[in-house]
Amino acid sequence: MRILLTGGAGFIGQHVHRQLVAEGHDIVVLDSLRADVHQNPPALDGLIVGDIRDAEVVDRALDGVDKVVHLAAKVGLGVDLDDMDDYVSSNSLGTAVLLRAMGRRKVRQLVYASSMVVYGEGRYECDRHGVVAPGPRRVQDLEGGQFEPPCPFCGDPLRPGLVDETAPTDPRNTYAATKLNGEHLAVAWCRETGGRVAAMRFHNVYGPGMPRNTPYAGVAALFRSALERGEAPRVFEDGRQRRDFVHVGDVATAVTAAAGALGDHPQFAAYNVGSGTVRTIGDLAEELSRAYGGPAPVVTGDYRLGDVRHITASSERLRETLHWKPDYDLRTGITDLLNS
């Protein structure tokens, strides 16, 4: 099978590339190798260096392709408001250019890299009002160290839980909005072309090859870089933010499982891709400090307004439908990271 892998030179992309090659596929990689992400670009067979927004480059990359795995994106929460147009252009416009070219080339199968950030805050229950959706957290509460969102009706404390793919979406930063927009574009494309799309809503991905020393690095990479400098990881808020940290190797097998199932796939389906184990940001910092033999984490009380408090999701649909399961828990995943 000939597969176009966009963003194949990136962190997740390189792992997906290795997995697809191991499964015997012929891979074409399209990557812009943008300088703010790729300080040391990898050498990949079949690499086309070009921008996903360049229609001529995308059309050339699709020559002879049977299906597409679309990972190319500008990632991260964003540095400041000045990033907004770059996120929209890179992610939303880039996806639209790709989908248009796929339609013209009659390539009808797509795996799209989405994100758990499309949900905004996770699932919460109030003892009095049942399942509720808290509003955005207020600056005055965060400044005062009140990090938990209250019930929007009575102000009582809430219990966080797991979201599934049927949960309402509520993107709360520009990156999240563009990831959800990509899903909506893919749904429209399916209706127009009869295509098949699997949208993979990745959780907090970590592992060998994580980007570091860039404004868009994830929290695991930031903690690791601090420890390698001999510094304590700096944990925002109180460290009790709930997340699902999933090893990049498990993400790669989830992506290839979805790619392999597209022939018998619904027109569009979303899948949460996580380890299935709820941990906290503080847990991650402690595990990394222990593994690196470094200083204990420092809980700062700082915050970023675009962050959500808790977001963890069930990956049962992925496990049951595509017969996938993760191979790493947080401790074995960090050991793999340490040895990389």
Mean pLDDT of 68-76: 94
Cβ atoms of residues 62 and 105 within 8 Å: yes
Burial state string for 263-288 with b = 16 or more CB within 10 A and e = fewer than 16: eebeebbbbbbbbbebbbbbbbbbbb
- The three-point CA angle 8-10-15 to 5° equals 70
Tens-digit pLDDT profile for residues 247-301? 999 999 999 999 999 999 999 999 999 999 999 999 999 999 999 999 999 999 9
3-class SS at 120? coil
Asked if residue 141 belongs to a domain, the reply is no
The one-letter amino acid code at 261 reads: A
Number of domains in the chain: 1
- Among 56, 171, 154, 59, smallest CA distance to 104 is for 59
Cβ contact 153:192 at 8 Å: no
**Using only C-alpha atoms, what is the Rg of the chain?**
20
Q: Residue 184 belongs to what H/E stretch?
A: helix 174-193
Q: How many other CB atoms are found less than 10 A from the CB of residue 74?
A: 21
Is the model more confident about 66 or about 308?
66
Question: Which residue in this structure is represented by tokens 């979201």?
Answer: 163
CA angle 82, 56, 37 (to 5 degrees): 40
Q: Is residue 298 part of a domain?
A: yes
Report the pLDDT value the prediction gives residue 214, as an integer from 0 to 100.
65
Parent domain of 209 = 2-123+161-339
Q: Is residue 135 part of a domain?
A: no
pTM of the model: 0.94
Can you tell me the distance from the alpha carbon of 82 to that of 47, in angstroms, rounded to the nearest whole number? 31
- Name the E strands within the chain: 2-6, 26-31, 47-49, 67-70, 109-115, 123-126, 130-132, 159-163, 196-202, 204-206, 234-235, 242-243, 245-247, 268-273, 279-280, 298-299, 312-313
Q: At what angle do helices 330-338 and 281-292 cross, to 10 degrees?
A: 40
The predicted-structure confidence for 195-245, as pLDDT tens digits, reads as follows 999 999 999 999 999 887 665 568 898 999 999 999 999 999 999 999 999
How many percent of the chain have pLDDT more than 70? 97
CATH number, domain of 106, equals 3.40.50.720
Q: What is the DSSP letter of 274?
A: -
Contacts of 34 (CB under 8 A, 6+ apart): none
pLDDT at 211: 81
Residue among 112, 175, 303, 328 flagged as catalytic: 175
Q: Say what the pLDDT of residue 317 is.
A: 98
51 within some domain = yes
User: How many C-beta atoms surround the C-beta of residue 231 within 10 A?
Assistant: 13
- Domain assignment of residue 194, yes or no: yes
Q: Is 175 a catalytic residue?
A: yes
